[in-house]
A and B are shown apart, each in its own frame.
Chain A
Amino acid sequence: MNDIEMRLRTMDLRPPRDLRARALARAATVRARPRWRLASIVLAGVLAILVVGYSLIALATAPRAAAMGDGGYGVGEGCWFVRDGSGLHFHVGGWYRGLPALCTSERDSTPSTSR
């Protein structure tokens, strides 16, 4: 063993007297964290369900692009998804009280920034 190794091994590095007590105290008080984590997971799950549900309704109610009658809206007529011969398409549709409007009879076609 050379001089540097010996000096590294014998270096005077003593921990603070309360290190053990502090570590034990902190380990005993972190039990609240999983509850906080669970709450954020539940919140994220609820938001995901709402977004997915909303998207499914929007997709399920997508009308044909050619449907311009009283019962539905086509491209540029307030719908966020429309169908044509080549399939389902997304385009910016209308708004209802600040939220993307579904293809229902309740809508206003002007984008709104306030709810």
Chain B
Amino acid sequence: MGEPLLDPEGQPGLTPEVLCARYSDRVYRFAAMVSKNAHDAEDLAQTALERAIRARSRFDHRRGDVEGWLWRIVANAAGDARRGARRRRLMERLLARQAGLVAHQGPPETADEVLLAAVRRLPHRQRAAIALRYGADLDLRAVGATLGVSVAGAGMMIRRALDRLRTELTHKEMQP
């Protein structure tokens, strides 16, 4: 059993309710960026929060801060979800076809939807880096620590992802 969970200010008593209230918005923003659709994003955010709540007793403040501990849990949950998502989508398509339903997701319309769709098409490592940096609002050191790469490596991954997004969005805007 680890030490009592401390919040980022070093105060004890980060209860499940406080953990959810403090981090659910950022966890959802991260999940929305790394997942392929809104349904997967909700599932991931819920699973990640649930895992964090259940893992609170194992948190040890001597091994790192709450942020690092939390985002490693969230990133691991995202990795697990990504591995299972392809199989699940295949099954859903099969069931929808058998039931005579055609899954239809309309094309993105608003600027945010276009950008989100472009983020979701990034390779998964770049997508995770972008989601941690701009969804979870982590600095480069924390992004690197969560993904297991150096600060320079995290910066490089994010720069490449931004270049790719910029190219894709520019190309889209030039189309009639």
How many interface contacts (CB-CB < 8 Å) are there between A and B? 73
Q: A19-B24, A19-B45 are in contact. Are A13 and B50 (CB under 8 A)?
A: no
CA distance A23 to B165 in the complex (A): 32
The 7 closest A-B pairs by CB, nearest first: A15-B28, A23-B49, A8-B134, A27-B53, A20-B20, A13-B32, A27-B50
**B1-30 vs A: 1/0 string, CB under 8 Å?**
000000000000000110011001101110
Please, which residues of chain B bring their CB within 8 A of the CB of A26? 46, 50
Q: Are A5 and B162 in contact (CB-based, < 8 A)?
A: yes
By a beta-carbon cutoff of 8 Å, the part of chain B in contact with chain A is 16-17, 20-21, 24-25, 27-29, 32-33, 42, 45-46, 49-50, 53-54, 111-112, 115-116, 119, 130, 133-135, 137, 162, 165-166, 169
**A14-49 vs B: 1/0 string, CB under 8 Å?**
111001101110110010000000000000000000
CA distance A15 to B23 in the complex (A): 11
Q: Is A12 an interface residue (CB 8 A)?
A: yes
Tell me which of B20, B32, B33, B165 contacts A24 (CB under 8 A): B20
Chain A contact residue count (CB 8 A cutoff): 20
Please, which residues of chain A bring their CB within 8 A of the CB of B133? 8
- Is chain A's binding surface mostly helix, strand, loop or mixed? helix
Please, which residues of chain A bring their CB within 8 A of the CB of B54? 27, 30
Please, which residues of chain A bring their CB within 8 A of the CB of B46? 19, 22-23, 26
Q: A8-B130, A9-B134 are in contact. Are A20 and B32 (CB under 8 A)?
A: no
Tell me which of A5, A8, A20, A30 contacts B24 (CB under 8 A): A20
CA distance A8 to B135 in the complex (A): 8
By a beta-carbon cutoff of 8 Å, the part of chain A in contact with chain B is 2, 4-5, 7-9, 11-16, 19-20, 22-24, 26-27, 30
CA distance A19 to B135 in the complex (A): 17
Q: A24-B17, A26-B46, A26-B50 are in contact. Are A15 and B115 (CB under 8 A)?
A: no
Q: Are B112 and A27 in contact (CB-based, < 8 A)?
A: no
- The smallest C-beta distance from B176 to any residue of chain A, in angstroms, reads 22
- The smallest C-beta distance from A33 to any residue of chain B, in angstroms, reads 10
Please, which residues of chain A bring their CB within 8 A of the CB of B116? 11, 13
Max count, chain B CB within 10 A of own CB: residue among A2, A4, A26: A4
Q: Are A19 and B42 in contact (CB-based, < 8 A)?
A: yes
Please, which residues of chain B bring their CB within 8 A of the CB of A19? 24, 28, 42, 45-46, 49
Q: A22-B46, A23-B50, A24-B16 are in contact. Are A4 and B165 (CB under 8 A)?
A: yes
CA distance A73 to B64 in the complex (A): 66
